């Protein structure tokens, strides 16, 4: 019979410990590597974002600068309208008097035998003065004739709505080419 030999590894337990320790060491190195990779990726992302934000801020500052330059140009030019100018224009538009409408009403209201000779506006006293002539009527006095014209004007609400008062100014009888006429003045005071 042949002798059988057996190999006994007495270091088997220490081999397993070495293998276990080697696996742990690899895991630790891998974990630390992944951790540093994540940190590096995070730092890279933050650097990218900060560069993008810096570009955005630079663009916004450039746009703000161009807007400020445009504002300065507009303020220096004659086209610039300040808020005060806009409010003044709005007030003028709201409170302006349309003279063309007044003239149309005046022409359609007056009788056919009355002619307007002069229309003036006095800025000092805010008065619109109507000067005219009319035929003399046998049944009316000169003052009554002018007062009837004033009454006709007062009856036109669209004409009197911008005036505080329409009053008699003067009248005079004149003779022109053998014909007698009444020359008159009517004052229309603007509302303040």
Q: Give the model's pLDDT for residue 31.
A: 95
pLDDT in tens, 128-167: 899 999 888 777 888 888 898 899 989 988 888 888 899 9
Q: What percent of the chain has pLDDT over 90?
A: 30
136 CB-contact burial (10 Å; exposed 0-12 / middle 13-18 / buried 19+): middle
Q: What pLDDT is stored for residue 45 in this prediction?
A: 95
The HSE-up count of residue 3 (CA atoms within 13 Å, CB side) is 2
| Domain 98-190 class, CATH top level | alpha beta
Tally Cβ neighbours within 10 Å of residue 163.
20
Name the token pair of 164: 């505080």
Domain residue spans of the chain: 11-96, 98-190
Q: How confident is the prediction for the chain on average, in pLDDT?
A: 85
With a cut of 80, say whether residue 182 has pLDDT above it. yes
Burial code of 65-92, b = ≥16 C-beta within 10 A, e = fewer? eeeeeeeeeeeeeeeeeeeeeeeeeeee
Lookup result for tokens 């086209």: 79
């Amino acid at each position: 019979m042949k002798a059988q030999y057996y190999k006994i590894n007495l270091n088997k337990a220490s081999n397993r410990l070495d293998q276990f320790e080697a696996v742990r060491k690899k895991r630790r190195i891998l974990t630390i590597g992944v951790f540093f990779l994540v940190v590096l990726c995070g730092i890279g992302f933050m650097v990218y974002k900060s560069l993008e934000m810096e570009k955005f801020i630079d663009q916004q500052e450039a746009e703000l600068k161009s807007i400020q330059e445009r504002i300065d140009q507009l303020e220096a030019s004659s086209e610039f309208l300040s808020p005060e100018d806009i409010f003044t224009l709005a007030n003028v538009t709201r409170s302006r008097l349309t003279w063309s409408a007044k003239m149309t009403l005046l022409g359609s209201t007056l009788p056919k035998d009355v002619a307007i000779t002069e229309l003036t506006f006095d800025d000092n006293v805010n008065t619109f003065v109507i000067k005219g002539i009319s035929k003399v009527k046998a049944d009316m006095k000169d003052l009554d004739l002018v007062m009837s014209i004033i009454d006709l004007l007062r009856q036109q609400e669209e004409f009197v709505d911008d005036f505080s008062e329409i009053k008699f100014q003067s009248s005079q009888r004149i003779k022109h080419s053998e014909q007698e006429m009444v020359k008159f003045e009517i004052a229309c005071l603007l509302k303040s």
